[in-house]
Structure 1
Amino acid sequence: MQICTPQAKVVVPKNATISAVFMFGDSIVDTGNNNNLITLVKSNFPPYGRDFMGGKPTGRFSNGKIPPDFFVEQLGIKELLPAFLDPNLQLQDLIGGVNFASAGAGFDPLTSELVSAIPMSKQLQLLDEYKMKLKCFIGEERVDSIVANGLYIVSAGSDDIVNTYFHTPTRIFDYSVFSYTELLELHAKGARRIGVFSLTPLGCIPSMRTLAGGIKRRCAENYNQMVQLLNSKLSSELHRLNEAFPHARMVLIDIYGLVLDIVKSPRKYGFEISDRGCCGSGLIETGFLCNQWDFLTCSNVSEYVFWDSYHPTENVYKVMVQEKLRKLLVELYS
């Protein structure tokens, strides 16, 4: 039996409405939980992290910071959102929230199984471990307050489409069952303010242009159509959940249109290149294919929308959070 000894002199971040941020999902928001997993879905090696605090690769699938970091930074909670499974994580780091996301995960458990990522159900179990550890540190009452006043962000579904549904199409009809179950469990664990990222126009990411966009590498519209279908289903589910749980708020963070506009009109946002990534040829490289030995990796990343053939650059993530955070807070806390 674990003996808990609450500690004094712990400074809990003060925020008018939000005590902490808790992140669940896939590679778009994973800040390093996959680093010590036996999986090919990793990015804890160069050139990933090239522009991150001195060029340190941390398991973030980008050249620098990713959405969880910008959330906590802009909310004034802390500089970065740490991965819960980071072996160097200190108890003090738990305050203000942590990240449970795992690159390669999806709402569909088969998606996570295919690449040995942490499934959403396990990510939710890690939230229980988090609460237990923190209770031993600052006491149950303060932990309950942090959990109740936390902001919960979910970003998943992209890998369901890319890795699962186009190979096993009938599973798309079970999508709402998977996503509904996970969001319902998150509510049961104490989450009262939940933001859920919509899917981006996956047909326009460089790898899908290469694999399914034809000889001219146009956006693969069949992928975008499926994305729009699932975004619509997810929006409907959130509406039903809000009606079922009036004391909670669940909001769709709709980034589909914004990302599509960045891809179609990159110069409008200060970018130049949106049809290929910075890493390597930019046509297909992701994960281990994006590595320090690839001499083709660009030197002018600020001009690119995508870092590798799947994930945006730090600057694009920053635009996404800046554009959507204010609206999210209004909808969650109004």
Structure 2
Amino acid sequence: MARVKSWSVALVLIVCMSLSYLGNAADDSGLGASFIFGDSLVDAGNNNYLPTLSKANIPPNGIDFKASGGKPTGRYTNGRTIGDIVGEELGVPNYAIPYLSPNATGKAILYGVNYASGGGGIMNATGRIFVNRLGLDIQIDYYNITRKQFDKLLGPSKAKDYISKRSIFSVTIGANDFLNNYLLPVLSIGARISESPDAFIEDMISHLRNQLTRLYQLDARKFVIGNVGPIGCIPYQKTINQLNQNECVDLANKLAMQYNGRLKSLLTELNAKLPGSTFVYANVYDLVMELITNYDKYGFVTASKACCGNGGQFAGIIPCGPTSTMCQDRDKHVFWDPYHPSEAANLIIARQLLYGTTKYISPMNLKQLRNL
């Protein structure tokens, strides 16, 4: 049952922006805070504090995460997320703290806050199969609370400058809106009868436009938005559809590509409409598809089989847990579990987003966005 938060991967990505950490957050130089919104690709532990079926705070998740000594933290991978890696590459010392963590108080939030939640989506109905999760609307509600806390910590004038000029807002979301909403058997059948794919995607874009505009109204100015990755190629989808290793689910990928086209247009629209804003588009779909198609060139032995999981040819049915079969060559698998990339894959993705060309990140890469 899915934690299918695939990698919107993007997302992941972005998400990535755990640029989170920056040295002395309250000084007058360098990056400010990293605010991370999204799904399980970037969840750093929020779902640990929810009564939900989507959790990753069980072994062997986190087995290669050095900061915890190999203990699970709630990250849906074996090691670092893309956000973690981005932060390290930029030399910042602390990870953005999960909003629901008891430690998310006082000066700890000055480095950044992570609101992401496994199972979350753009639409409020997305992920209801997991019972509880934080959708993007609720994540922004929580940021609104954080925004007021910044005023108290720094004073209104300095807080506004710190957030609007020095902080980065990353949004990695959308895959669950397909995998755990529109395409989900039984639960979504009514929606699919009443709403065409075009109409559903327009609904997603309309909601996202309002959500990003709301963040802008709360002083966000630097944004990085990940598109939806090739969700038809994850081990879960290949397994349940009984595909060969070089095949992907056509409908899922077509929906992702259609949404991605509308997302790119939306960001162009918002860049023009919202004064002083910079919206960066992370093309996670093409980046991950390159990794899947040419996995051997990047040192992987498979882009089809999950390292940790059970069920079917690609270990893609049962999520990673204590009773799962786990590979020994974890750095040779593109996928850690039926839905999420391994740390090794995250490393390649993060570096492209940090330093890459407009093929994968436009109109500028993340290092350029930080220095803007």
Q: So what's the TM-score if we normalise by structure 1? A: 0.89
- Corresponding residue for residue 54 of structure 2: 41
Of 133, 148, 157, the residue aligned with 1:117 is 133
- Corresponding residue for residue 176 of structure 2: 159
Unpaired segments ≥5 residues, structure 2 = 1-22, 356-364
Q: Does 1:240 align with 2:272?
A: no
Distance 1:242 1:216, change over 3 A: closer
Q: C-alpha separation between the residues in 1 aligned to 2:235 and 2:38?
A: 21
Q: C-alpha separation between the residues in 2 aligned to 1:11 and 1:262?
A: 36
**1:24-103 alignment runs, 5 A limit:** 24-53=37-66, 54-103=69-118
Code of the residue aligned with 1:82 in structure 2: it is I
Is the Cα contact below 8 Å between 1:210 and 1:217 reproduced in 2? Answer: no
Moved more, 175-184 or 77-86: 77-86
Code of the residue aligned with 1:20 in structure 2: it is A
Of 284, 298, 308, the residue aligned with 2:316 is 284
- Corresponding residue for residue 159 of structure 2: 143
3-state SS in 2 of match to 1:302: helix
Q: C-alpha separation between the residues in 2 aligned to 1:273 and 1:15?
A: 46
| TM-aligned CA deviation for residue 89 of structure 1 | 3.5
Is the Cα contact below 8 Å between 1:29 and 1:101 reproduced in 2? Answer: yes
Q: Bigger relative contact order, structure 1 or 2, given CA contacts below 8 A and separation 6+?
A: 2
Is the Cα contact below 8 Å between 1:200 and 1:259 reproduced in 2? Answer: yes
What do residues 193-218 of structure 1 show as CA deviations (whole Å, max 9, x unaligned)? 10100111111110011123536672
Distance 1:190 1:267, change over 3 A: same
3-state SS in 1 of match to 2:304: strand
Q: C-alpha separation between the residues in 2 aligned to 1:14 and 1:232?
A: 40
Code of the residue aligned with 1:109 in structure 2: it is N
Distance 1:112 1:12, change over 3 A: same
3-state SS in 2 of match to 1:236: helix
Q: C-alpha separation between the residues in 2 aligned to 1:102 and 1:182?
A: 16
Name the % identity.
30
| TM-aligned CA deviation for residue 78 of structure 1 | 2.5
Is the Cα contact below 8 Å between 2:168 and 2:370 reproduced in 1? Answer: no
Q: C-alpha separation between the residues in 2 aligned to 1:12 and 1:81?
A: 12
Is the Cα contact below 8 Å between 2:25 and 2:33 reproduced in 1? Answer: no
Q: Does 1:263 align with 2:278?
A: no
Is the Cα contact below 8 Å between 1:77 and 1:96 reproduced in 2? Answer: no
Q: C-alpha separation between the residues in 2 aligned to 1:229 and 1:332?
A: 29
Q: C-alpha separation between the residues in 2 aligned to 1:231 and 1:225?
A: 10
Unpaired segments ≥5 residues, structure 1 = 1-9
Moved more, 256-265 or 170-179: 170-179
Code of the residue aligned with 2:148 in structure 1: it is M
Cα RMSD (Å) of the superposition? 2.2
| TM-aligned CA deviation for residue 131 of structure 1 | 2.5
**Count of paired positions:** 322
Code of the residue aligned with 2:83 in structure 1: it is P
Code of the residue aligned with 1:330 in structure 2: it is Q
What do residues 63-109 of structure 1 show as CA deviations (whole Å, max 9, x unaligned)? 01102212222222324222121123352321221101111111111
- Corresponding residue for residue 7 of structure 1: none
Distance 1:63 1:13, change over 3 A: farther
Of 136, 139, 143, the residue aligned with 1:127 is 143
Is the Cα contact below 8 Å between 1:15 and 1:76 reproduced in 2? Answer: no
Code of the residue aligned with 1:228 in structure 2: it is M
Is the Cα contact below 8 Å between 1:13 and 1:77 reproduced in 2? Answer: no
**1:226-237 alignment runs, 5 A limit:** 226-237=255-266
Distance 1:186 1:129, change over 3 A: same
Is the Cα contact below 8 Å between 2:36 and 2:113 reproduced in 1? Answer: yes
Is the Cα contact below 8 Å between 1:253 and 1:328 reproduced in 2? Answer: no
Q: Does 1:211 align with 2:226?
A: no
Is the Cα contact below 8 Å between 2:245 and 2:304 reproduced in 1? Answer: no
Code of the residue aligned with 1:206 in structure 2: it is P
| TM-aligned CA deviation for residue 312 of structure 1 | 0.2
- Corresponding residue for residue 328 of structure 1: 366
Q: Does 1:104 align with 2:119?
A: yes
Deviation >4 Å, runs of 4+: 13-17, 331-334
What do residues 269-289 of structure 1 show as CA deviations (whole Å, max 9, x unaligned)? 121111011113353245xx3
**1:294-313 alignment runs, 5 A limit:** 294=324, 296-313=325-342
| TM-aligned CA deviation for residue 15 of structure 1 | 8.3
Q: C-alpha separation between the residues in 2 aligned to 1:123 and 1:64?
A: 24
3-state SS in 2 of match to 1:308: coil
